[in-house]
Amino acid sequence: MKKMVDESKASRLVNCGMIILVTAAYKDKSTITPCAWYLPLSKKPPSVGVALAKSHFSSELIKKSQEFIINIPHWSLLEKVIVCGSVSGRQVDKFKEAHLTPQKAHSLVKTPKVDECVGNIECSLWDIKEVGDHYLFLGEVIYAEAEEDFFINDMWDTQRGDFIFHLGSRFFFKSSPSIEARK
């Protein structure tokens, strides 16, 4: 039997994906924002969307800089993810607070990426959609990279690397080994 789920919690039914860290920066300010609400959007051009609360510092910085970077953390960075999600970049320098290393982007994007992450997608802002209390930032992929030991045959190898998956609130689970479906 199914039970009714409050509509404000409906997002939790689909909120089980990999956690990403969005970096945003403008002039001398930067932030690292854990994000569970994001999606690949198009192959041509390669595009992704990230949904960030309008009130977040990251939203303010992305609107000003017109760019952002998606950083993919490994399970070993879970505590740092929590630190980055517990405070706004308006109050602290999250790179220092979480002991993460800012690294220059590969492309012309000026926003730093997180060196400790196993994958990074550098994006220039394509468009912004207002969706209630969030902005959906649409980014065109300018450059993407992944740790070669973990990204095999164009996909993550979950046998070699544990990724952080999010259920909601402070609940997470590790990726498990993949299976290949039969035709």
**Residue with nearest beta carbon to ligand FMN:** 85
Q: Is 148 exposed, middle or buried (0-12, 13-18, 19+ CB in 10 A)?
A: exposed
Give the SS3 label for residue 96. Answer: helix
Compare residues 132 and 177 and give the one whose CB is closer to ligand FMN: 132
Closest C-alpha among 87, 90, 82, 68 to residue 172: 82
Which positions from 99 through 128 interact with ligand FMN, judged by CB under 6 A? none
88 binds ligand FMN (CB under 6 A): yes
Amino acid identity, position 170: R
Residues 140 and 126: their CA atoms lie apart, in Å, by 6
Q: Rule CB under 6 A: choose which of 10, 53, 108, 155 binds ligand FMN.
A: 53
Q: Rule CB under 6 A: choose which of 37, 95, 150, 156 binds ligand FMN.
A: 37
Give me the residues that bind ligand FMN (CB under 6 A), please.
19, 31, 33-37, 51-53, 56-58, 82, 85, 87-89, 166
